[in-house]
Structure 1
Amino acid sequence: MNTVESAIAACIDQLQIDTNSDFAILGMMDSSGRRLRWSRSAGRTSERTNLVEQKATAGLSGKAIRSGRQAAANTAMSDRERFKLGEPILLTEQLRIAVSVPIAINNKISGVVLIGRRSDSSYLADELNQATHAAIELASLLE
C-alpha cells in the first residue's frame, strides 16, 4: 500500500472512531460518472462489501451526490425501508442509521463517504461535522 492509500485508509479508520460509527466507507464514482464503487472501509462485517457497486444516483449516496450536501437517514430503518431506499451497503452491512457526505474534488462531486450504525442511536451534530471534515480531508488526499 502506498502513502496516499495508507493515508486514505487511516482517515476512514479515524472517521469511524471520531463519529462513534460501526462502519465507514469511501465510495468513488467511475470515469463515466454513472456508477459508485465502494473501496476503503472500516468496521465491515461482510466480505462482499467492497465488491458492491450501485448507480451513482441511488440511495443516500445518490442524494448526497445530486445535492452536493450531506444526506442522512437519522432514524432507525427497518429492512424494508433500507431496501426501498436503494442503498445496497445499508443492507449488506445491516446499518440502521446512516449518513452520506459528498466528496468534492476541484469543485466536482467525485464520491462520498458513508458512515453508519447498526444500533438505533442517531448521530449528533458534532459527529456529523466530523464526517464533513473527513470528506474535505479525503478530497485533498484524492486530488
Structure 2
Amino acid sequence: MITIKDHIEQVLDSLRARTGSDFSGLLLMDNPDAGLRWNFVSGNRSIRSKQIILRPGQGLPGLVMRLGRRVILDDSIPDIRKLRFDNPIMLAENLHAVAVIPILKERDILGLLMIGSRKPTLYSSQLIEMIEQEAEMLSPVIEGLKSGPISSR
C-alpha cells in the first residue's frame, strides 16, 4: 500500500526527471507561524535544504505568498546572481535557476512546488505549464495530509 508520503516523494522524483531538473521540493503551509521549510525534497545534495526554516514573508516562499502566483528565477532575470544570494535554498543546493509554483485550493495557498537547476537555465512556458498542472494534481493530496500529521523524508 502506498502512503501519501510515498506518493509525494514519487511525484517529486518524477517531476525532477520529466523536467530535467536537478532538484524538486514541496513546502507545506502546515504551520506558517512556526516557520516555513521544504518538507519534501528530491535531488538534494545537502541536508541543509531540509533544515532551512524561513519566517513567513522571507525568501522564495514569502515572495510567492505575497504575489499569490508563480515566481521564476532563471536566466531571463538580469540580476539572477544577486537574487541567488537572497534565497537560502538556492545557496544550500547551489541552484542557478528555480521555478516556484503555488499549490492552491480556491484562493488559499496550501503549499509550494519548486524545481531547480544547478546550471544556468531558461524555463520554457511549456515546462512551467507542466509544473502548474502537477501543482493542481497535488492540491487534493495535500488536503488529505491535513487530516493527519505531516511527515517528511
Q: Give the alignment's TM-score, normalised by structure 2.
A: 0.82
Stretches of 4+ aligned residues off by more than 3 angstroms = none
TM-fit CA distance, 1:106: 5.2
TM-fit CA distance, 1:31: 2.2
- Which residue of structure 2 lines up, in the alignment, with residue 18 of structure 1? 18
- Which residue of structure 1 lines up, in the alignment, with residue 84 of structure 2? 82
Distance in 1, Cα, partners of 2:122 & 2:65: 22
TM-fit CA distance, 1:108: 1.0
Q: Give the alignment's TM-score, normalised by structure 1.
A: 0.87
Compare CA radii of gyration and give the structure with the larger one.
2
**2:58 equivalent to 1:58:** yes
**2:122 equivalent to 1:122:** yes
Distance in 2, Cα, partners of 1:33 & 1:103: 18
- Structure number with higher strand proportion: 1
Change (3 A) 1:73 1:34: farther
Asked whether the 8 Å contact 2:100–2:114 carries over to 1, the reply is yes
Distance in 1, Cα, partners of 2:30 & 2:88: 17
Change (3 A) 1:33 1:106: farther
Stretches of structure 1 that go unaligned for 5 or more consecutive residues are none
The alignment yields a C-alpha RMSD, in angstroms, of: 2.0
Stretches of structure 2 that go unaligned for 5 or more consecutive residues are 144-153
